[in-house]
Structure 1
Amino acid sequence: MQHDPLESETGFAGLGLRAELLRALTTLGYEEPTPIQQEAIPPLVAGNDLVGQAATGTGKTAAFALPLLQTLTPARRDAGPVALVLVPTRELAEQVSQAVHRYGRDLGVRVLPVYGGQPIGRQLQALSRGVDVVVGTPGRVLDHIERGTLKLGDIRTVVLDEADEMLDMGFAEDIEAILAETPDTRQTVLFSATMPPRIDSIARRHLREPVRITMGRKGVEPGEMPLVRQSAYLVARPHRAAALGRILDVEAPTSAIVFCRTREEVDQVTETLNGRGYRAEALHGGMSQDQRDRVMNRLRAGTTELLVATDVAARGLDVEQLTHVINFNVPAAPESYVHRIGRVGRAGREGSAITLAEPREQRMLKAIERLTGQRITLEKLPTVTDLRARRLELTRTSLQASIENDDLEKFRVVLDSLTGEFDVEDIALAAIKLLHEAAGGDVDEDEIPAPAPPSESRRAQGRDRDRDPRQGGRGRPSNAGATRLFFGIGRRAGVRPQDLVGAIAGESGLNVREIGAIQITDRFSLVEVPEPAADMVINAMQQAMIRGRRAAVRRERSGR
């Protein structure tokens, strides 16, 4: 019988959680606690106050959500909430609320997110019916307190999540006012990525003899890190699966592992990739040993291109031909990142490590960089134009290989029968078209929207309690305010979109978010930049090197 971490004394069951929560974790595919969960859950279940230093992506939502659900009485009918979670942004309020709902499904938990930009009438109705857990931004929570629609007299647990972010946004006074409305006997939990003096001051004033947890960052010894190209793409959560497919299409790995956090996520990603035409196999703790052995045999034999796995299932894996490791989300601990990417770049072979991250997870990427002493390059997500160019390049490569290696003489009779009626060039173009369409043809996909930078989201939400947040984020400049620059270098020189973006940003200082559409042909490239910055970019690029070459740079001539 296969070992199940949920049933072991080192798994979730060993943390003293009730049966309903363990069932929910099994259903969601959680295999074992992350380091912050292992450290934080036992003292919180025991009723202690806690101060935890942990960045986004470490699993801290479950670290505080599971203990606050532990003491929840099923089928409560009284109106007052017993737990309050304060978070800095509406996006985080929604995420935490959804997580609490999933974990507490078998307990019938009633959880309500409250934040500005959402109709307050809907929140008033939910509060009047009764809720167990409120997750909200300080501004909107204080609004409800002042209206008399949110009463905190029954609160048993208060969580301050991402406390440093809330202070940076100017919520200090609101937090103090909210805590004053809660019972002195409450349990208080504070999580923060950093611990500046003002966070410590809040902890001293409002927490009673708290347990303190700091997720340590042990450095990596010289020589331990593999020589791997490390990059990351910032993608909003709803578009991660589409972004993964786009990246795989462009990267075209020979053999890759895609790491996910849970069994459920593994199954969803595997299904998505197979629907895109890849040969992907799932590997997680919910599979029998025989099933796992069959999957690994197919990967080693080359009949499977992609392995989608959890960390637990992938322990001890050693696959010689791996070219890529892809993190579907930022690993829960920087040390996990090091273990994952150590599977490529061995014995002098080249390898790539790619991570998909939400904008707010950039702190976690910085923590990984500090641990490894190596830079993770932020790349621009491939566009539909990039993907079309890549597929045309694959068609060209297939044709070249056929010309060099295949016996083509038997097809001459077809060519001879057509040359009397059609031009040879037209015949060749028609053949290329047929080959291209047989391999998948042109891309018919929508562009993946760029995520809003966290700073824009924070500024919009900081003190604006009732208005919709300002729309912001990276995107292409509008045609009215942009111009296209001609670069005398193209696909024949091996130029990729990221080469042009990196050169322009590095030489001119132009923000990568201001670089718009990129078109690459065999001999030249066209790049869209803001009109006011065009001359500055041209001057900066005069002596710049792109793919080891100097290229002429000028405004695109009309009529091209």
Structure 2
Amino acid sequence: MIENTGGDGSGFADLGLRPELRQALVGLGYEEPTPIQRAAIPPLLQGRDLVGQAATGTGKTAAFALPLLQLIADGAGRAGPIALVLVPTRELAVQVSEAMHRYGHDIGARVLPIYGGQPIGRQLRALSRGVDVVVATPGRAQDHINRGTLDLDGITAVVLDEADEMLDMGFAEEIEAILSSTPADRQTALFSATMPPRIAGMVRRHLREPVMVQLDREASTTGESLLVRQSAYVVPRGHKPAALGRVLDLEAPAAAVVFCRTRDEVDRLTETLNGRGQSAEALHGGMDQQQRDRVMNRLRAGTIDLVVATDVAARGLDIEQLTHVVNYDVPSAAESYVHRIGRVGRAGREGTAITLVEPREHRMLKSIERATGRRITVEKLPTVADLRARRLDLTRAALRESLLEDDLEKFRGVIEPLCEEFDLFDVALAAVKLAQETSGTVDEEELPEAEPPPADDQGRRRKSPGRPSTRRSGSGMTRLFVGSGRSSGVRPQDLVGAITGESTLSGRDIGAIEIADRFSLVEVPEAAAEDVIVALRRATIKGRRTTVRRERHVPR
């Protein structure tokens, strides 16, 4: 059945949750379940299989975590894990595990995240001591199963979270093998932002008469997503770093994530922002887990206010203080845009999503608007006058707060002698001037305004002929040569899995794939080509290292 849910004002007490879980939610400040939670929790508590479709940021984690914790409480005392949660990335594994610890503190839930990049010895010791729920990436879960260190015989529930992302990253075989290793009478829940045919096939094979919970667009955008203010600025490529700095100066975010396409771009932009006086750090797949954790902890603690990240590194990111998301480049797919802006505007907090658009990317912005059904306001870049006015506003607000809250008596000895010599109003003006100069200078150079291509020009480009099998010349794609092919057992999913696992790209970023007997050709965005080449040369495909380079074109 399809349930299009909306808010009815009922609280968590109406969903059938144990008192300990309800008390934990109250302590965390949750008052009302989100639509996906209201629709999913009751059937999961009844033991039904379930398929849930909803956008990122709608509360999916609690929708499956709370029923699993109730299952643990009802079956207390069992030795092995009784629930397995599969997630696409290590960041999401940590996030889900931390959420379950918070919700299940009063019932003593033992939740263990296992993922690559962490010493396996630590995971082995924790598994041997006993756990209730394992939250794992498919690759590391399969590794433990093969070692005999993860026993699935006692599993009564399995959750596939962000199933579409796991398939895009090439984990289809691992997921199939893991599900086949669990008891046939287990309960299974699958959550996904999109429902491509491959997901439907998995549902048919592994779920039994599932309840289908599909939030319509209105329901899935209420609450968190509706609180995200979305805007865009059209900027020439060469002026994007300066434009970003100016927008950040105007917005003054408490904490922000700036998304870039490649690792190199992340590193370059981070250096540029720090050179402008911003406090920024990089976050991408080229960093080890300890480095990435350190960056996230500094953002949470307020030591830094900007993280420049790739999509892969930021998957599963959930920072309570986050106020702004900035797309330094227009995402290549509407789903990526939705995942990015889902990082802000959660739990009733307002958020802002800003996109910097090159003139040639204006059509991509329109396609995102059509896919999301939400208008993105195109605004003019802040001028020097705008920045000065904004800085004065901030100074005025700071002065007002200080007058209301601070103990200023100790400064009277500075002001009184000056007032004998000068007018009090003039003294205040001089103090404001010094405060402005202390906060830094305003860039005096006006940035050029850029307009999107006229509609008739866009129409001509749409009508120009091109080969339907490749997007290389028309949309910034290029083809890479991979020195392994059909004779080595290479399949398209192997290439997709290698690229998404080792680089910053997602499956949606990858274009056409051609596999010959001894080699393969795969399309990737031109801007990410060198990054992908370096990453794949370090990796193995079907257990072997292979040649990777740009395709060499023979003149005709």
* TM-score normalised by the chain length of structure 1: 0.47
